[in-house]
Amino acid sequence: AVPATAALTTRAATAASRAPSAPVFDRADHTAVTETITTDSGDKEVTYHFYGPLTYVTRPSDATHQSLVISVPVAIDGTPVDASDAPIVLANGVGGYFPSSVANANGVGQASMETGGGGTPGGPGGPGGPGGGKMVSIPRLALAAGYVVAEPGARGRSLTDANGRYYGTAPAAIVDLKAAVRYLRANKGRVPGNPERIVSTGTSAGGALSSLLGASGDSRLYAPYLKEVGAAEASDAVFAAGAWCPITDLEHADMSYEWCWGGNVTRATGAPVDRTVSRELTAAFADHQASLRLKAKGYGTVKASNLDDYILRTYLQPAATRYLAALTETARTSYLTANPFITWSGGRATFSWQDFTAHVGPRKKGAPAFDAFDLSAGENNEFGAGTTAARHFTLYSLRQDTGSSSSRLDSDIPEKLASMNPMYHIARKNPSRSKHWWFRVGTDDTDSSPVIVSNLALALENLGDDVNPLMYWDEGHGANIDAAAFLGWIAKVTG
């Protein structure tokens, strides 16, 4: 018997070869670019063929955003490169769930999110700024490592048409990324690189979408949307997925946030959040966490009551240990003097959960962090529809806002939440999901909670997937300080 995944892929590939259902890629239509790219192993002079922007659907509602660019390395430091069968790194530049565009790109690593501030090419965050982690351009590093780099634009939450209707809210961005994957598959043999070795990556909202792309491969949930935009009839599964500080599992993000940061004051006010709200969300988190039935060696089921210990020992203490071990003796001594809550013994850092959250200090967001009572959060806009800019997507916030215990979420919200949540697809063991995963987040990142990465990684480990998760000590939102290791990981998993 043919496994379900293979059957799907074969059927899709047959459909694609019968009639090109996607715009046809023209290999000759490129510009040659030479750039110096700085890597951990020094500067590399990379000559590459740059394609696009190319619209990746046949019925775009917004070709400006539903377009991609592709960079194909042809020589690195004067040595010819044959990338015709190389893995394809699909690097989305989405930040803040805003639209992302490659319309003005004339080289690799120039995808931009359009609004929201704090953005740097290639994603959100960036060095400097409160909580911003250290960040380098993955598309540029990937090109210098010899991979084909595809950078898709995507519709985002702030877009409205002439009638004031929101057309880039959920699930538009994931539909577009899937359409971009389908375009690459439908153009197999024309686009350089191996579409069976697509490795997705993104940061923050882009990390959320990358993990969702990995988890939701070939899900039928998106069929009507993909049809509407004229996506190619091909598989939209990706081989591997990387995600940096993914802002995902949005319907559980408020409770995860309070469970973790409930005791921290906010950056804006320096004051604690509403204690009743924080306590109620924390209580709801315990039920939610138990319902996931995640298992870890030495813990049995990871519940709210042992999750702090699990995250501490699996991620936080090892992160601090790596950080301290890499310092000079003098620098380590001064760090430990400034941070006496850390016990450094036998080359290992230990500390308590309470000390960790105190060390992080003021949290970035209020309570609730994602489904704001007054609909002011970006995520409220992400679940907007029609001419309504922002809606509630949790019963808790809806009921607090309306003061009614009987109110219901709009009828389309549950399916939209599912379509935006990798945990939905993982819980259903989607057979066409990626089987190779990379997760990173800074321990100082309070844009969401470390629970998000921890649960994603554990849920996938529980399915037997190959998962490489790590946290970066004292790094903020958007950090990718071991980006070079990501490229080594791609070589390993695709090799």
Residues near ligand DHB, by CB under 6 A: 95-97, 124-125, 204-205, 247, 378-379, 447
Give kind and range of the element (H or E) at residue 174: helix 172-186
Q: Is the peptide bond before 340 cis (omega within 30 degrees of 0)?
A: no
Question: How far apart are the C-alpha atoms of 220 and 226, rounded to whole Å?
Answer: 10
Nearest to 184 by CA among 111, 87, 101, 112: 87
Closest distance to ligand DHB from the beta carbon of 90 (Å)? 17
Contacts for 260-263 with beta carbons within 8 Å, 24 or more apart? 260/357, 260/449, 260/450, 260/451, 261/357, 261/360, 261/363, 261/446, 261/449, 262/367, 263/354, 263/357
Question: How far apart are the C-alpha atoms of 21 and 182, rounded to whole Å?
Answer: 10
Closest distance to ligand DHB from the beta carbon of 205 (Å)? 4
Q: Which is nearer to ligand DHB, 142 or 253 (CB)?
A: 253
Nearest to 456 by CA among 150, 245, 269: 245
Closest distance to ligand DHB from the beta carbon of 103 (Å)? 20
Angstrom distances, CA of residue 206 to CA of 23, 193, 214, 323, 427: 25, 23, 12, 26, 21
Closest distance to ligand DHB from the beta carbon of 193 (Å)? 27
Residues in the chain: 495
Nearest to 76 by CA among 30, 147, 144, 140: 144
Q: Which is nearer to ligand DHB, 96 or 368 (CB)?
A: 96
Give the residue at shortest CB distance from ligand DHB: 204
Closest distance to ligand DHB from the beta carbon of 372 (Å)? 11
Q: Which is nearer to ligand DHB, 308 or 445 (CB)?
A: 445
Closest distance to ligand DHB from the beta carbon of 68 (Å)? 19
Q: Which is nearer to ligand DHB, 147 or 244 (CB)?
A: 244
Instruction: Outline where 216-294 has alpha helix (H).
Output: 223-229, 250-261, 275-292
Q: Which is nearer to ligand DHB, 95 or 368 (CB)?
A: 95
Question: How far apart are the C-alpha atoms of 45 and 77, rounded to whole Å?
Answer: 5
Cβ atoms of 65 and 229 within 8 Å: the answer is no
Closest distance to ligand DHB from the beta carbon of 379 (Å)? 6
Question: How far apart are the C-alpha atoms of 244 and 207, rounded to whole Å?
Answer: 5
Closest distance to ligand DHB from the beta carbon of 98 (Å)? 8
Q: Which is nearer to ligand DHB, 96 or 262 (CB)?
A: 96
Closest distance to ligand DHB from the beta carbon of 241 (Å)? 17
Cβ atoms of 174 and 236 within 8 Å: the answer is no
Tokens of 49: 């063929």
Helix axes 304-311, 275-292, angle to 10 degrees: 90
DSSP single-letter state for residue 412? T
Closest distance to ligand DHB from the beta carbon of 95 (Å)? 4
Closest distance to ligand DHB from the beta carbon of 89 (Å)? 19
Q: Which is nearer to ligand DHB, 55 or 200 (CB)?
A: 200
Q: Is the peptide bond before 422 cis (omega within 30 degrees of 0)?
A: no
Q: Provide the pairing of β-strand 194-201 with 87-91.
A: parallel
Give kind and range of the element (H or E) at residue 321: helix 317-325
Closest distance to ligand DHB from the beta carbon of 268 (Å)? 13
Q: Which is nearer to ligand DHB, 113 or 294 (CB)?
A: 113
Bridge partners for 154 per DSSP = 100
Q: Which is nearer to ligand DHB, 73 or 124 (CB)?
A: 124
Q: Which is nearer to ligand DHB, 25 or 97 (CB)?
A: 97
Q: Which is nearer to ligand DHB, 30 or 134 (CB)?
A: 134
Q: Which is nearer to ligand DHB, 63 or 360 (CB)?
A: 360
